[in-house]
Amino acid sequence: MEIYLDNNATTLVDPRVVEAVRAELESGPSNPSSAHSLGRRARARLSAARAEVADYLGVPSKEIYFTSGGTEALNTLILGARFTGPLLASKIDHAAMARPIEALNKSVIHLPVGPSGHIEVEDLNPGAGLIALSAANPETGVKNPLDEISAFAKEHQIPLIVDGVALLGKESFNMPAGIAAMVFSGHKFHAPKGVGVMWISSKFPLDPLLIGGGQESNRRSGTENLPGIVGLAKAIELLHTELPDATGRMCRLRDLLESSLLAAFPQVKVNGSGPRLPNTSNIAFPDIDVELLLAQLDVACIAVSLGSACSSGGLEPYHVLLNMGLDPRLARSSLRFSLSRFTTEAEIQKTLETLLPLLEVTY
């Protein structure tokens, strides 16, 4: 039995999404920009997908734009934003946000993040020209206080860009007033890879990153990936019925994993004390060679992670934990377990049956 607990890296494509993608692939050649009947029918399916996403997010359809994923969307928003004044960011955000911010070559104020794993609203600067933050950190699962941040942004009329990639599909949420743009990536909520979506307020001044044929209302040129978009829309449609029940199941199983480990080994520590996503557990195992532990779990067909696989496909330095102020030894002895709505209690129990004896060798 293979046990997959690395769902913050990517998720299983839901079988119902697979069927939707297959149907689109089998529908024949379709370019939504074409004027003939095949193109018109493709355009209608594209519009229906856009409406599905907009309905779930509670925003106008005309403000929904499809991309190749979260990285492209964040590059579009950060590099294309028109603003003056410093940019407020965090040192624990994903590279897809951090590196475009670096490339701007503008003044950046990095907000402090402590052991809680989230920023504090009182550290926000009313003189900022742009705020770019994550809704939740994919390494620890800790959520930023998005309602309070968006209220601050609205009060001080500062555009707020939110990376929502780690959030969507884990729990229900409402789009707070005060956000200028928010991005999501299909493969993080049981849709295919290679497709993402960004909501951009019509009031947010933005220059496009990709120019060409003017697709997506000139926000993102390039022929739309209609099979991927249909799959993404189907995955979002499923959230209406999967949530909030899936949230409760993931939270219960995550808590089972953590409480069992802590009961057996009190020296084990959960990283990030702030409110977390229900599916994510970042755990420090003091004095354990976690690269060896990762390999041992892999041999036992249990997939977990040392950290983000999105930067290089290899072992990323533990910059998130280090920037939260963790002792470097603790940061480098941490593993991330990330569940999905398909994770079962039997899989968590099997993981514990495998993991506890491995830890007993040291503890």
Alpha-carbon distance of 126 to 152, in angstroms, equals 8
Q: How far apart are CA 119 and CA 69, in angstroms?
A: 25
What DSSP string describes 285-296? -TT--HHHHHHH
> What's the token pair of residue 259?
């409480």
Residue with tokens 């994903």: 94
CA distance 220 to 236: 21
Judge whether 117 and 140 are in contact, CB under 8 Å: yes
Could you say which of 158, 253, 310, 324 is catalytic?
310
Place of tokens 């990709």: 210
Token pair of 307 as six digits: 């950290």
Is residue 251 part of the annotated active site? The answer reads: no
CA distance 163 to 329: 29
Task: Tell me how far apart the alpha carbons of residues 34 and 83 are, in angstroms, rounded to a whole number.
Answer: 36
- Rg (the chain; Cα; Å): 21
Q: Which two tokens stand for residue 212?
A: 């060409």
| 8 Å CB contact between 250 and 279 | yes
Between CA 75 and CA 96 the distance in angstroms is: 7
8 A C-beta contact, residue 211 and residue 88: no
Angstrom distances, CA of residue 123 to CA of 17, 32, 149, 165: 42, 46, 10, 24
Q: What are phi and psi of 310, to 5 degrees?
A: -90, -5
Contact 271, 284 (CB under 8 A): yes
Q: Quick count: other Cβ atoms within 10 Å of Cβ 69?
A: 22
Catalytic residues: 310
